[in-house]
Amino acid sequence: MFATFLIGLREGLEAALVVGILVAYLKRLDRKDVLPRLWIGVGAAVLLALGIGAVLTFGAYALTFQGQEIIGGTLSLVTVAMVTWMIFWMRKAGRTMKATLQGGVDRALETGTVWALILVGFVSVAREGVETTLLLWSMVQSFGDAPSAILGAALGLVVAVLAGWLLSRGAVRLDLSRFFTWTGGFLVVIAAGVLAYAISDLQEAGVVPGPFTSAAPLDGAGAVLVGAAGFPFGWAFDVSAAIRPDSALAVLLQAVVGFMPRMSWIQVIAWVLYLAIVGTLFVRGLRRAAPRAAAPSVSDSVPSSAPALVAAEPSAAHIAPTTVSSEGAS
């Protein structure tokens, strides 16, 4: 529940800030008359995300066990790719995010068509929505405790919407840079766990060699070998006797660091390599951003009717330490 809460909070806040930028910009242009079109696009993006979640959840019942494992493992790999891309893309494209969003609104207003502005709202939120849906679905599948995981995600999204609204009203101050930095690091660890679970699914389906396939090394009694003797297609370790897979501790460890009481060698290798490569790149990016963060930044002046969110897009939050207030943000 805690892991999905943080994901719902982070992804929901990003979407809320993007929508806030668009709404505030239209208010600055004194074009409140076109806000309903923007909200139609935002609503359509939310419905798309919910629809994908429903298809993934209920469509799986019509598949065989092997089919479910293949689909689950493949979508989990797609999720890892999307989350990894998002973490680094946001840092690279962050400085131009607000200008890009406002440029899209300008072009939509110039064309004068209803669909143009609907499309701006839809595209701006759809990426966040689909990414969140895939990530949460993968985590729910791996936890095996759907009610609490879904409740955590729902609470995170509700808090994100409330926080976005309070920021837009200038009622709270939030260091977005620190928030997105810490949650970005958390997402790297979460993605490593999702990757390990994806490999487990594909091994159970027989797509990837492992303990469930004929490639597994066996002892005299026909059991899959554990430890060094089981390398590379057996179990790397098995502590199920000490940590029951269905225990609260096992679920907590899996949610936080992707640890499972029994993991194959390929799972462990993939988990370690992902953390080593992506984690190193993530930390290097933070170090490169530190000198830029020390330089003075220029704050936008925004009217009181649309404070903070016009300048406080998630992009800047990934780049330089910034405190959002009713006077504006860098």
User: pLDDT per position in the chain (330 positions), as tens?
Assistant: 777 888 888 888 888 888 888 888 888 888 888 889 889 999 999 999 888 888 877 776 666 778 888 888 888 898 898 888 877 776 665 556 667 777 888 888 787 776 887 888 888 788 888 888 888 887 777 666 567 778 888 898 899 888 888 876 765 676 767 777 787 888 899 889 889 989 999 999 999 999 999 999 999 898 999 999 999 999 999 999 999 887 878 877 887 788 899 999 999 999 999 999 999 999 888 777 666 655 544 334 333 333 344 333 343 333 333 333 333 333
Sequence-ordered list of residues with C-beta below 8 angstroms from that of 174, at least 6 positions apart, any chain? 163, 167, 323, 324
What domain count does the chain have?
Answer: 1
Which H helix or E strand runs over 217? none
Let me know if residue 170 belongs to a domain. Answer: yes
Let me know if residue 329 belongs to a domain. Answer: no
Let me know if residue 73 belongs to a domain. Answer: yes
| Domain boundaries, position 17 | 2-203+286-324
Q: For residue 324, give the DSSP letter.
A: E
The structure tokens listed for 49 are 């995300």
Q: What is the pTM of this model?
A: 0.72
Q: In angstroms, rounded to a whole number, what is the distance separating the alpha carbons of residues 210 and 200?
A: 9
Let me know if residue 175 belongs to a domain. Answer: yes
